[in-house]
Protein backbone atom coordinates (compact mmCIF):
# COMPACT_ATOMS: atom_id res chain seq x y z
CA UNK A 1 0.00 0.00 0.00
CA UNK A 2 2.82 2.37 0.83
CA UNK A 3 4.32 1.69 -2.62
CA UNK A 4 1.06 2.57 -4.47
CA UNK A 5 0.67 6.08 -2.97
CA UNK A 6 4.08 7.42 -4.07
CA UNK A 7 3.47 6.05 -7.57
CA UNK A 8 0.10 7.82 -7.77
CA UNK A 9 1.67 11.08 -6.61
CA UNK A 10 4.34 10.83 -9.29
CA UNK A 11 1.72 10.29 -12.02
CA UNK A 12 -0.41 13.24 -10.79
CA UNK A 13 2.57 15.59 -10.73
CA UNK A 14 3.49 14.63 -14.29
CA UNK A 15 -0.01 15.41 -15.57
CA UNK A 16 0.02 18.88 -14.00
CA UNK A 17 3.41 19.66 -15.50
CA UNK A 18 2.19 18.57 -18.94
CA UNK A 19 -0.91 20.80 -18.71
CA UNK A 20 1.12 23.83 -17.67
CA UNK A 21 3.45 23.28 -20.59
CA UNK A 22 0.52 23.15 -23.04
CA UNK A 23 -0.97 26.44 -21.69
CA UNK A 24 2.40 28.17 -22.08
CA UNK A 25 2.61 26.99 -25.69
CA UNK A 26 -0.83 28.46 -26.45
CA UNK A 27 0.02 31.80 -24.83
CA UNK A 28 3.30 32.02 -26.72
CA UNK A 29 1.75 31.08 -30.10
CA UNK A 30 1.48 34.20 -32.37
CA UNK A 31 -2.07 35.40 -33.10
CA UNK A 32 -3.02 35.95 -36.79
CA UNK A 33 -3.60 39.53 -38.04
CA UNK A 34 -7.22 38.79 -38.95
CA UNK A 35 -7.92 37.43 -35.51
CA UNK A 36 -6.34 40.47 -33.91
CA UNK A 37 -8.43 42.90 -36.00
CA UNK A 38 -11.56 40.92 -35.17
CA UNK A 39 -10.74 41.11 -31.51
CA UNK A 40 -10.42 44.93 -31.54
CA UNK A 41 -13.56 46.59 -30.26
CA UNK A 42 -14.81 49.13 -32.85
CA UNK A 43 -15.36 52.68 -31.57
CA UNK A 44 -18.97 53.82 -32.00
CA UNK A 45 -19.49 56.09 -34.96
CA UNK A 46 -19.56 59.73 -34.02
CA UNK A 47 -23.08 60.99 -33.49
CA UNK A 48 -23.85 63.48 -36.29
CA UNK A 49 -24.42 67.06 -35.25
CA UNK A 50 -27.96 68.38 -35.34
CA UNK A 51 -27.25 70.20 -38.60
CA UNK A 52 -25.98 68.68 -41.83
CA UNK A 53 -22.59 69.45 -43.30
CA UNK A 54 -24.23 71.99 -45.59
CA UNK A 55 -25.83 73.64 -42.58
CA UNK A 56 -22.48 73.82 -40.86
CA UNK A 57 -20.71 75.34 -43.84
CA UNK A 58 -19.66 78.92 -43.57
CA UNK A 59 -21.53 81.49 -45.70
CA UNK A 60 -18.65 81.64 -48.15
CA UNK A 61 -18.94 77.89 -48.68
CA UNK A 62 -22.67 77.91 -49.37
CA UNK A 63 -23.51 77.03 -52.99
CA UNK A 64 -24.58 80.15 -54.85
CA UNK A 65 -27.68 80.01 -57.04
CA UNK A 66 -27.05 79.54 -60.72
CA UNK A 67 -26.92 82.80 -62.64
CA UNK A 68 -30.09 83.45 -64.59
CA UNK A 69 -29.76 83.71 -68.36
CA UNK A 70 -29.47 87.28 -69.59
CA UNK A 71 -32.80 89.01 -70.02
CA UNK A 72 -31.73 90.34 -73.40
CA UNK A 73 -32.44 93.96 -72.57
CA UNK A 74 -30.10 95.02 -75.34
CA UNK A 75 -31.56 92.62 -77.87
CA UNK A 76 -34.81 93.45 -79.63
CA UNK A 77 -37.34 90.67 -79.34
CA UNK A 78 -38.60 89.10 -82.54
CA UNK A 79 -41.92 90.65 -83.64
CA UNK A 80 -45.07 88.61 -83.12
CA UNK A 81 -47.65 90.51 -85.19
CA UNK A 82 -47.91 92.26 -88.52
CA UNK A 83 -50.58 94.65 -89.76
CA UNK A 84 -52.62 93.75 -92.83
CA UNK A 85 -54.13 96.12 -95.40
CA UNK A 86 -57.29 96.48 -93.31
CA UNK A 87 -55.16 97.77 -90.38
CA UNK A 88 -55.86 94.62 -88.41
CA UNK A 89 -53.12 92.66 -86.70
CA UNK A 90 -52.41 89.03 -87.49
CA UNK A 91 -49.89 86.66 -85.91
CA UNK A 92 -46.66 86.09 -87.79
CA UNK A 93 -46.44 82.53 -86.45
CA UNK A 94 -49.38 80.13 -86.12
CA UNK A 95 -48.49 79.46 -82.48
CA UNK A 96 -49.02 83.14 -81.53
CA UNK A 97 -52.47 83.98 -80.10
CA UNK A 98 -54.76 85.69 -82.61
CA UNK A 99 -57.47 86.75 -80.16
CA UNK A 100 -55.83 90.05 -79.28
CA UNK A 101 -56.44 93.78 -79.70
CA UNK A 102 -54.28 96.88 -80.01
CA UNK A 103 -55.36 99.74 -77.74
CA UNK A 104 -54.73 103.28 -79.02
CA UNK A 105 -55.53 106.77 -77.72
CA UNK A 106 -55.35 109.90 -79.91
CA UNK A 107 -55.11 113.68 -79.52
CA UNK A 108 -53.10 114.04 -76.32
CA UNK A 109 -51.41 114.75 -74.09
CA UNK A 110 -53.75 117.34 -72.63
CA UNK A 111 -55.06 116.53 -69.14
CA UNK A 112 -53.07 115.03 -66.29
CA UNK A 113 -56.09 113.70 -64.40
CA UNK A 114 -57.58 111.94 -67.41
CA UNK A 115 -54.23 110.63 -68.58
CA UNK A 116 -53.23 109.33 -65.16
CA UNK A 117 -56.55 107.53 -64.81
CA UNK A 118 -56.00 105.81 -68.15
CA UNK A 119 -52.44 104.85 -67.29
CA UNK A 120 -53.52 103.42 -63.94
CA UNK A 121 -56.22 101.30 -65.58
CA UNK A 122 -53.81 100.01 -68.20
CA UNK A 123 -51.33 99.08 -65.48
CA UNK A 124 -54.03 97.29 -63.50
CA UNK A 125 -54.82 95.09 -66.50
CA UNK A 126 -51.23 94.65 -67.63
CA UNK A 127 -52.11 96.28 -70.94
CA UNK A 128 -49.93 98.27 -73.32
CA UNK A 129 -51.16 100.94 -75.73
CA UNK A 130 -50.06 103.54 -78.25
CA UNK A 131 -50.72 107.18 -77.40
CA UNK A 132 -50.81 109.11 -80.68
CA UNK A 133 -49.89 112.68 -79.76
CA UNK A 134 -50.07 116.05 -81.49
CA UNK A 135 -47.01 118.26 -81.62
CA UNK A 136 -48.73 121.39 -80.36
CA UNK A 137 -50.04 119.50 -77.32
CA UNK A 138 -46.58 118.09 -76.63
CA UNK A 139 -45.30 121.66 -76.69
CA UNK A 140 -47.96 122.65 -74.15
CA UNK A 141 -47.56 119.59 -71.90
CA UNK A 142 -44.06 118.13 -72.19
CA UNK A 143 -44.26 116.60 -68.71
CA UNK A 144 -47.32 114.59 -69.70
CA UNK A 145 -45.47 113.17 -72.68
CA UNK A 146 -42.66 112.13 -70.36
CA UNK A 147 -45.21 110.56 -68.03
CA UNK A 148 -46.57 108.33 -70.79
CA UNK A 149 -43.07 107.16 -71.57
CA UNK A 150 -42.11 106.67 -67.92
CA UNK A 151 -45.20 104.52 -67.36
CA UNK A 152 -44.03 102.11 -70.05
CA UNK A 153 -46.51 103.03 -72.77
CA UNK A 154 -45.72 103.74 -76.42
CA UNK A 155 -45.88 107.17 -78.05
CA UNK A 156 -46.99 107.59 -81.65
CA UNK A 157 -46.94 110.56 -84.05
CA UNK A 158 -50.33 112.14 -84.86
CA UNK A 159 -48.98 115.20 -86.75
CA UNK A 160 -48.31 118.64 -85.31
CA UNK A 161 -51.60 120.51 -85.77
CA UNK A 162 -54.13 117.71 -86.35
CA UNK A 163 -54.96 118.93 -89.84
CA UNK A 164 -56.14 116.85 -92.78
CA UNK A 165 -52.85 116.01 -94.48
CA UNK A 166 -54.32 114.41 -97.57
CA UNK A 167 -54.64 117.63 -99.55
CA UNK A 168 -51.60 119.43 -98.16
CA UNK A 169 -48.44 120.03 -100.23
CA UNK A 170 -45.49 117.77 -99.62
CA UNK A 171 -43.43 120.33 -97.71
CA UNK A 172 -46.28 120.97 -95.27
CA UNK A 173 -46.78 117.24 -94.72
CA UNK A 174 -43.06 116.81 -94.11
CA UNK A 175 -42.99 119.57 -91.50
CA UNK A 176 -46.16 118.34 -89.77
CA UNK A 177 -44.55 114.94 -89.32
CA UNK A 178 -40.87 115.77 -88.88
CA UNK A 179 -41.34 118.44 -86.21
CA UNK A 180 -43.19 115.98 -83.98
CA UNK A 181 -40.38 113.45 -84.39
CA UNK A 182 -37.79 116.06 -83.44
CA UNK A 183 -39.58 117.34 -80.34
CA UNK A 184 -40.41 113.90 -78.98
CA UNK A 185 -36.85 112.70 -79.43
CA UNK A 186 -35.60 115.78 -77.57
CA UNK A 187 -37.91 115.01 -74.64
CA UNK A 188 -37.59 111.23 -74.23
CA UNK A 189 -34.54 110.30 -76.29
CA UNK A 190 -36.30 108.29 -78.99
CA UNK A 191 -38.52 108.89 -81.99
CA UNK A 192 -41.96 107.38 -82.55
CA UNK A 193 -42.17 104.38 -84.87
CA UNK A 194 -45.95 104.54 -85.37
CA UNK A 195 -47.96 107.19 -87.23
CA UNK A 196 -51.70 107.78 -87.47
CA UNK A 197 -53.00 110.53 -89.78
CA UNK A 198 -55.60 112.90 -88.33
CA UNK A 199 -59.13 111.87 -89.31
CA UNK A 200 -57.62 108.69 -90.77
CA UNK A 201 -56.99 110.70 -93.92
CA UNK A 202 -53.68 110.27 -95.70
CA UNK A 203 -52.60 109.25 -99.15
CA UNK A 204 -49.56 108.05 -101.04
CA UNK A 205 -47.46 111.13 -100.27
CA UNK A 206 -48.20 110.92 -96.55
CA UNK A 207 -47.41 107.20 -96.52
CA UNK A 208 -44.12 107.80 -98.33
CA UNK A 209 -43.00 110.48 -95.88
CA UNK A 210 -44.04 108.36 -92.91
CA UNK A 211 -42.01 105.45 -94.26
CA UNK A 212 -39.01 107.70 -94.81
CA UNK A 213 -39.16 108.57 -91.11
CA UNK A 214 -39.05 104.88 -90.19
CA UNK A 215 -42.66 104.66 -89.01
CA UNK A 216 -45.57 102.30 -89.60
CA UNK A 217 -48.63 104.08 -91.02
CA UNK A 218 -51.98 102.99 -89.60
CA UNK A 219 -55.56 104.11 -89.18
CA UNK A 220 -57.88 101.73 -87.25
CA UNK A 221 -60.33 98.86 -87.62
CA UNK A 222 -62.54 99.37 -84.54
CA UNK A 223 -63.71 102.92 -83.78
CA UNK A 224 -65.13 103.70 -80.35
CA UNK A 225 -66.83 106.87 -81.66
CA UNK A 226 -65.89 108.47 -78.35
CA UNK A 227 -65.28 111.74 -80.24
CA UNK A 228 -68.84 111.83 -81.56
CA UNK A 229 -71.58 113.80 -79.81
CA UNK A 230 -73.61 110.58 -79.53
CA UNK A 231 -71.15 109.25 -76.95
CA UNK A 232 -70.30 112.44 -75.08
CA UNK A 233 -70.49 111.76 -71.33
CA UNK A 234 -71.74 108.25 -72.12
CA UNK A 235 -69.07 105.68 -71.21
CA UNK A 236 -71.50 102.81 -71.79
CA UNK A 237 -71.85 103.87 -75.42
CA UNK A 238 -68.08 103.85 -75.85
CA UNK A 239 -67.98 100.29 -74.56
CA UNK A 240 -70.89 99.19 -76.73
CA UNK A 241 -69.36 100.66 -79.88
CA UNK A 242 -66.05 98.87 -79.34
CA UNK A 243 -67.64 95.51 -78.53
CA UNK A 244 -70.02 95.64 -81.50
CA UNK A 245 -67.07 95.95 -83.89
CA UNK A 246 -64.76 93.59 -81.99
CA UNK A 247 -62.72 91.08 -83.98
CA UNK A 248 -59.37 89.29 -83.57
CA UNK A 249 -56.52 91.70 -84.18
CA UNK A 250 -58.74 94.76 -83.73
CA UNK A 251 -57.00 98.12 -83.92
CA UNK A 252 -59.14 100.06 -81.42
CA UNK A 253 -59.33 103.84 -81.74
CA UNK A 254 -60.05 105.88 -78.61
CA UNK A 255 -59.18 109.37 -77.38
CA UNK A 256 -57.96 111.08 -74.25
CA UNK A 257 -61.45 112.03 -73.04
CA UNK A 258 -63.07 111.87 -69.60
CA UNK A 259 -65.87 109.47 -70.61
CA UNK A 260 -63.35 107.19 -72.30
CA UNK A 261 -61.22 107.14 -69.17
CA UNK A 262 -64.35 106.27 -67.20
CA UNK A 263 -65.26 103.48 -69.64
CA UNK A 264 -61.80 101.94 -69.80
CA UNK A 265 -61.97 99.71 -66.71
CA UNK A 266 -65.22 98.05 -67.75
CA UNK A 267 -64.13 97.84 -71.39
CA UNK A 268 -60.90 96.01 -70.59
CA UNK A 269 -62.72 93.69 -68.21
CA UNK A 270 -65.25 92.88 -70.94
CA UNK A 271 -62.48 92.18 -73.45
CA UNK A 272 -60.79 89.82 -71.02
CA UNK A 273 -64.05 88.02 -70.27
CA UNK A 274 -64.38 87.40 -74.00
CA UNK A 275 -60.92 85.86 -74.02
CA UNK A 276 -58.97 88.73 -75.58
CA UNK A 277 -55.45 89.79 -74.76
CA UNK A 278 -53.51 92.94 -75.61
CA UNK A 279 -50.85 93.50 -78.22
CA UNK A 280 -47.68 95.08 -76.93
CA UNK A 281 -46.70 97.65 -79.58
CA UNK A 282 -43.11 96.46 -79.19
CA UNK A 283 -44.23 93.12 -80.68
CA UNK A 284 -45.42 94.69 -83.96
CA UNK A 285 -43.31 94.30 -87.08
CA UNK A 286 -43.09 97.80 -88.55
CA UNK A 287 -41.36 96.59 -91.71
CA UNK A 288 -44.21 94.50 -93.08
- Kindly list the catalytic residues: 106, 255
Q: Residue 219 CB: number of other CB atoms within 10 A?
A: 15
Inter-CA distances, 256 with 5, 61, 128, 131, 190, Å: 140, 57, 15, 9, 22
Taking the CA atoms of residue 196, residue 282, residue 287 and residue 206 in that order, the dihedral angle to the nearest 10 degrees is: 10
Cα gap 224→239, rounded to integer Å = 7
Amino acid sequence: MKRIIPLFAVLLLGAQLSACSAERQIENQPVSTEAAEAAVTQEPAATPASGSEEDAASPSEQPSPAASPGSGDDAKAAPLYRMNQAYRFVPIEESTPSKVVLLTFDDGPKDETILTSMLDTLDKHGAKAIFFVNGYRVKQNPELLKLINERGQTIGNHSWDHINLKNEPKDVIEKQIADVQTDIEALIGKKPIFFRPPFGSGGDVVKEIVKNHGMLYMTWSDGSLDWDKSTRDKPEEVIRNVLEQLHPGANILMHELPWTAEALEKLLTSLEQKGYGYIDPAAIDINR
